[in-house]
């Protein structure tokens, strides 16, 4: 080979970075010649990977010459990176790791910082998808240094992109958005349209996650309307975020449509199937109630990939917590809360702590700057109907009143909410007279005589004098109800609401007082659970051990042990006596049974 491969040198390379994967394949694998020049092999492998033809990509990689040249080594490194990313996106992180390890062996990257930067970035992606953010950050830092040494702008872009995502996972939204914004500008400067598009989507999804509900939906819908990604991954990401938000906003028809669009994009992808099950659960909850959502929650939990994805786990755990609270199942509530706490503590995941706060179970939690979504959900979840309305969370209104979704007219002084099984429409308030007509019909006083007496106070009914007044008033009521006009029916000259339709006043929406949180169980899994078990075992052997002694036996710091014991005391896992340095802890009665169950 006499030609030296550099990023963007060929037309095929430029088509790849522009995201024109079918164009790349048409020029290489799918061309009449049926092959790719050596200089373009890595890009053909990448295009195959990102359109779902992974088996072909792997077979093509087998044909790469192992002649020890720099070109072949770079092809192996780049192809390994592309394939690893495709495997991780599909939820097969173990396969992604194996691909990167093999590429590292075969490309001998110590000879070339260019190739090493891509391989290290592939390692970072595997750690990121496995939710090991600490290791992902370390690998990204090393990848960035190698890319800088090689003056490899694309490698630097990838590292900055990863760094922005890691900041977002920790709840450092402002910093993360700034870093991603810079990465997007860098991609545009380099002419890497595909990367710029992917970063733009990530920026919009991140902004939508912290924006007010109406603003977040608007961001995602605008992005979906303009999205033309060929690999479907970005479209799937947007729809998975959009469907629950539409359900929360009381737009269940639109949410169902989003789920229908999402379904074909998830086939054969374990992680995506969990996202789909979560979206279905949110829509079922809004349209039929938690009983209908339960099978989807169970499927989401059952389909969680073996390689942990803590962000995905947090969404499933939040659904499990909501279901358990609705059922008033204290054991299941404790387990789901402990699951979220372990994700928050062990992975440092901000979203897990935010879900706990939304359910009123996070002590000392501070909403991140700019996170309007969590602040609004916290207010609404405390039973504040007006807070939910102000936040645009109309879909949560029935649940806040302790009711399953149905067909209702919610009467407020200054507005009207029409609820139709998960679809809620906000309308102008009724005039006093029209309101009285609706309330009388809802009470069953739908004859002309009864309406005349209840609304106008006239006891003697005269058809000639009163029929036109009554008909006009009912007509105004139907007009005010918009699409729900047909709910006011006429039968043999008597007015009535359609069967199953309720009229609800704000005072009747007040939920029951929030129950005291049950004593949570042991954490579901993670490092904290392991520390707590060792501490309880140590206490069972030596009930008078000091905090410092326990810390040494558990293998952690005194500060961490002190914090753990305080949390264990809050959960009634240990009892406490004394104060200051003389504080002593004992394992709670029957704690051995609890540990044995886990």
Which domains, from first to last, does the chain contain?
11-210 (1.25.40.10), 238-397 (no CATH), 407-499 (1.10.10.10), 527-597 (1.10.10.10)
pLDDT digits (tens, 9 = 90+) for 118-176: 999 999 999 988 878 888 989 999 999 999 998 888 889 989 999 999 999 888 999 99
pLDDT digits (tens, 9 = 90+) for 561-583: 877 887 777 677 787 776 556 67
Query: Is a pLDDT exceeding 70 seen at residue 105?
Result: yes
Closest CA to 173 of 351, 391, 359: 351
Residue 389 CA, chain-centre distance (Å), reads: 22
**Mean pLDDT rounded to a whole number for the chain:** 85
pLDDT digits (tens, 9 = 90+) for 500-534: 999 998 654 444 334 444 444 566 567 778 888 88
DSSP 17-66: HTT-HHHHHHHTTTSTT----GGGHHHHHHHHHHTT-HHHHHHHHHTS--
Closest CA to 170 of 337, 357, 343, 316: 343
CA distances from 106 to 237, 571, 588 (A): 33, 52, 56
pLDDT of residue 515: 40
Q: What angle do CA 367, 372, 377 make, to 5 degrees?
A: 80
φ/ψ of 422, rounded to 5, equals 95, -15
CA 233 to CA 541: how far, in whole Å? 53
CA distances from 229 to 266, 332, 461 (A): 15, 40, 68
Is the whole-model pTM more than 0.75?
A: no
The CB density around residue 148, as the number of other CB atoms within 10 Å, is 15
CA atoms within 13 A on the CB side of 461: 14
CA atoms within 13 A on the CB side of 411: 17
CA atoms within 13 A on the CB side of 575: 10
């Amino acid at each position: 080979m006499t030609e030296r491969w550099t990023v963007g040198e060929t037309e095929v390379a430029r088509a790849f970075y522009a995201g024109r994967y079918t164009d790349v394949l048409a020029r290489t694998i799918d061309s009449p010649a049926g092959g790719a020049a050596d200089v373009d092999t890595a890009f053909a492998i990448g295009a195959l990977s990102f359109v779902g033809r992974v088996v072909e990509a792997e077979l093509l990689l087998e044909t790469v010459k192992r002649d020890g040249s720099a070109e072949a080594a770079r092809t192996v490194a780049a192809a390994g990176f592309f394939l690893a990313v495709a495997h991780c996106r599909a939820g097969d992180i173990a396969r992604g790791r194996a691909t990167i390890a093999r590429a590292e062996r075969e490309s001998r990257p110590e000879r070339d910082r260019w190739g090493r930067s891509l391989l290290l970035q592939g390692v970072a992606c595997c750690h990121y998808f496995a939710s090991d953010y600490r290791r992902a950050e370390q690998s990204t830092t090393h990848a960035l240094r190698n890319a800088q040494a090689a003056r490899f702008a694309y490698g630097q872009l990838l590292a900055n992109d990863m760094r922005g995502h890691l900041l977002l996972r920790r709840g450092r939204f402002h910093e993360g958005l700034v870093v991603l914004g810079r990465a997007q500008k860098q991609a545009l400067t380099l002419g890497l349209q595909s990367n710029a598009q992917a970063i733009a989507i990530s920026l919009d999804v991140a902004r939508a996650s912290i924006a007010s509900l109406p603003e977040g939906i608007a961001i995602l819908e605008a992005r979906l309307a303009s999205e033309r990604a060929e690999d479907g991954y970005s479209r799937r990401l947007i729809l998975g975020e959009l469907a629950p938000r539409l359900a929360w906003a009381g737009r269940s028809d639109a949410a169902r449509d989003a789920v229908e669009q999402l379904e074909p994009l998830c086939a054969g992808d374990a992680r995506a199937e969990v996202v789909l099950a979560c979206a279905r659960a949110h829509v079922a909850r809004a349209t039929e109630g938690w009983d209908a959502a339960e099978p989807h929650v169970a499927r989401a939990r059952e389909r969680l990939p073996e390689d942990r994805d803590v962000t995905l786990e947090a969404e499933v755990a939040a659904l499990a917590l909501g279901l358990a609270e609705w059922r008033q199942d204290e054991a299941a509530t404790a387990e789901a809360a402990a699951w979220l706490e372990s994700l928050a503590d062990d992975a440092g995941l901000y979203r897990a702590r935010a879900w706990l706060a939304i359910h009123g179970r996070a002590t000392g939690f501070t909403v991140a700057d700019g996170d309007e979504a969590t602040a609004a959900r916290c207010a609404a979840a405390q039973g504040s109907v007006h807070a939910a309305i102000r936040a645009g969370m109309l879909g949560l209104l029935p649940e806040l009143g302790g009711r399953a979704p149905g067909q209702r007219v919610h009467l407020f002084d200054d507005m009207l909410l029409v609820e139709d099984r998960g679809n809620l429409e906000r309308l102008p308030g009724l005039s006093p007279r029209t309101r009285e007509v609706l309330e009388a019909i809802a009470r069953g006083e739908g004859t002309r005589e009864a309406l005349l007496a209840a609304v106008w106070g006239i006891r003697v009914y005269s058809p000639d004098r009163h029929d036109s007044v009554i008909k006009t008033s009912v007509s105004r009521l139907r007009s005010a109800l918009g699409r729900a006009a047909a709910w006011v029916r006429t039968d043999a000259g008597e007015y009535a609401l359609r069967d199953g339709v309720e009229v609800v006043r704000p005072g009747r929406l007040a939920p029951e007082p929030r129950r005291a949180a049950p004593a949570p169980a042991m954490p579901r899994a993670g490092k904290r659970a392991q520390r707590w078990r060792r501490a309880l075992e140590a206490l069972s052997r030596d009930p008078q051990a000091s905090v410092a002694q326990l810390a040494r036996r558990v293998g952690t710091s005194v500060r961490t042990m002190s914090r753990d014991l305080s949390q264990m005391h809050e959960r009634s896992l240990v009892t406490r006596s004394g104060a200051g340095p003389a504080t002593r802890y004992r394992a709670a009665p029957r704690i051995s049974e609890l540990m044995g169950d886990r």
